[in-house]
């Protein structure tokens, strides 16, 4: 089976490696050509010079890119794949994309006789290398069966989320939950630190516990020792998750928790716009929202949060305890038509605070070394995401921050978004214009 793989990033490269073997005939393309060439040297794969060349003979095309913006660029850009894909082929987009764009792409390809499946993945680089990724796909089941052998080459847990776009939606909610759980862990350690507990001691105790409750899944963090394997010596493991992951493989009990956003509706940023997440999945049978499960378990362990499972009560407690939120209630925060503003009182700096600061500065060692390292141009700080890709300047930063020849003309007038120079525009304004402001 002829396969084209586009996007050899941290996840894409190990995914493609599982397809560089029989019975697959693999062609790869990557924006950074040197990375594709290195892949070709190390694997049984051909390297294409352009996206169009990569897909021309392929029956299955896989894209694994930073966001839907890059997918559309590969489709419609110079030497794009839209006109090159053969009729009857299937595009499997493993990008963590956004549902509206995926549906639009599916409709456009459908008019050309090409099928589309959105299939974002989860599990990190470790699962990608092991071929055990979780794949959340949206699309026609009949079409998916045609590409199942390809997906199974790098995926272990394969979940049909629904129609086109639902895989992207599920991945977005999963990422949101992961962020919430990371924040919760940080807040927990901060509370312990304020109570006088050394965070390192707290982590040692948590790691030594025989039973553990986990909200969400553990993501592997290379070089830290943090991975789902930490659970293998635990006697009793409870996990709250939306679906099975590597973490749930160690669980004795799994609570299928729906998220707060799915039950109640809340705010999110989606392609640069603040909007309401629509109520999606009702808790059914014994399934409860994750915050309710946590509260119920806490009560069973003798810890009462005191909010009676009510989000409104939580916000009321915050408003009653924090002067800046006085008088504000949860419905006010949810009402997008009447934005509320909190007002924090700014107090003066006490002499005691300055004294403490002076002592801390004075106690700093004199033999410290200055860090002179210069961050690489195109560092992950400038990577293109759903948010940053909407700002043209980020595209230039992500493509090496090219230096314009003419400093009197805006860089965006002299470069295309991929960093390549535009023709003749640099000469439109010259040094002589300094003496003739405004062209007078």
CA-to-CA distance for 237 and 250, rounded, in angstroms? 7
CB atoms near residue 251 (< 10 Å) = 21
Query: Beta strand pairing status for 155-162 and 45-47?
Result: unpaired
CA-to-CA distance for 38 and 125, rounded, in angstroms? 18
CA-to-CA distance for 232 and 229, rounded, in angstroms? 5
* Local structure of residue 328 (DSSP, 8 states): -
CB–CB of 130/153 below 8 Å? no
Find the angle CA(417)-CA(103)-CA(283) to the nearest 5 degrees. 120
Task: Give residue 270's Cα distance to chain centre.
Answer: 12
- Calculate helix-pair angle for 166-194, 199-208, nearest 10 degrees: 120
User: Which residues make beta-bridge pairs with 135?
Assistant: 121, 158
Residue 359 appears among annotated catalytic residues: no
CA-to-CA distance for 256 and 376, rounded, in angstroms? 42
Catalytic option among 129, 171, 370, 390: 171
Give the active site residues.
171
């Amino acid at each position: 089976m002829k396969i084209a793989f586009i996007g050899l990033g941290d996840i894409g490269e190990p995914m493609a490696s599982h397809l560089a073997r029989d019975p697959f005939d693999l062609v790869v393309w990557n924006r950074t050509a040197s990375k594709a060439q290195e892949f070709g040297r190390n694997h049984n794969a051909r390297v294409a010079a352009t996206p169009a060349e990569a897909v021309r003979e392929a029956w299955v095309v896989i894209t694994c890119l930073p966001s839907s913006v890059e997918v559309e660029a590969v489709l419609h850009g110079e030497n794009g794949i839209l006109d090159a894909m053969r009729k009857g082929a299937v595009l499997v987009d493993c990008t963590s994309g956004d549902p509206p764009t995926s549906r639009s792409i599916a409709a456009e390809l459908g008019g050309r006789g090409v099928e589309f499946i959105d299939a974002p993945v989860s599990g990190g680089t470790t699962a990608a290398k092991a071929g055990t990724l979780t794949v959340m796909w949206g699309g026609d089941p009949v079409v998916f069966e045609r590409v199942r052998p390809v997906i199974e080459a790098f995926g272990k847990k394969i979940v049909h989320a629904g129609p086109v776009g639902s895989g992207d939606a599920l991945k977005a909610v999963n990422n949101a939950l992961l962020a919430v759980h990371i924040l919760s862990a940080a807040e927990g350690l901060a509370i312990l630190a304020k109570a006088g507990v050394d965070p390192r001691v707290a982590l040692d105790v948590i790691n030594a516990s025989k039973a553990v409750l986990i909200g969400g899944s553990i993501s592997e963090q290379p070089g830290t020792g943090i991975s789902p394997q930490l659970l293998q010596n635990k006697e009793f493991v409870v996990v709250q998750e939306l679906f099975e992951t590597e973490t749930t493989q160690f669980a004795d009990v799994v609570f299928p928790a729906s998220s707060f956003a799915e039950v109640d509706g809340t705010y999110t940023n989606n392609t640069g716009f603040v909007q309401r997440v629509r109520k999606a999945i009702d808790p059914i049978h014994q399934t409860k929202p994750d915050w309710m499960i946590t509260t119920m378990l806490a009560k069973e362990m003798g810890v009462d949060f005191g909010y009676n499972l009510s989000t409104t009560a939580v916000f009321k407690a915050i408003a009653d305890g924090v002067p800046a939120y006085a008088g504000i209630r949860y419905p006010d925060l949810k009402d997008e038509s009447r934005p509320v503003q909190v007002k924090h009182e700014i107090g003066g700096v006490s002499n005691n605070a300055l004294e403490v600061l002076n002592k801390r500065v004075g106690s700093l060692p004199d033999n410290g070394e200055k860090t002179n390292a210069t961050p690489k141009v195109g560092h992950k700080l400038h990577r293109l995401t759903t948010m940053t890709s909407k700002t043209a300047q980020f595209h230039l930063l992500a493509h090496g921050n090219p230096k314009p020849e003419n400093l009197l003309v805006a860089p965006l007038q002299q470069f295309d978004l991929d960093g390549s120079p535009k023709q003749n525009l640099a000469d439109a304004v010259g040094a002589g214009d300094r003496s003739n402001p405004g062209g007078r």
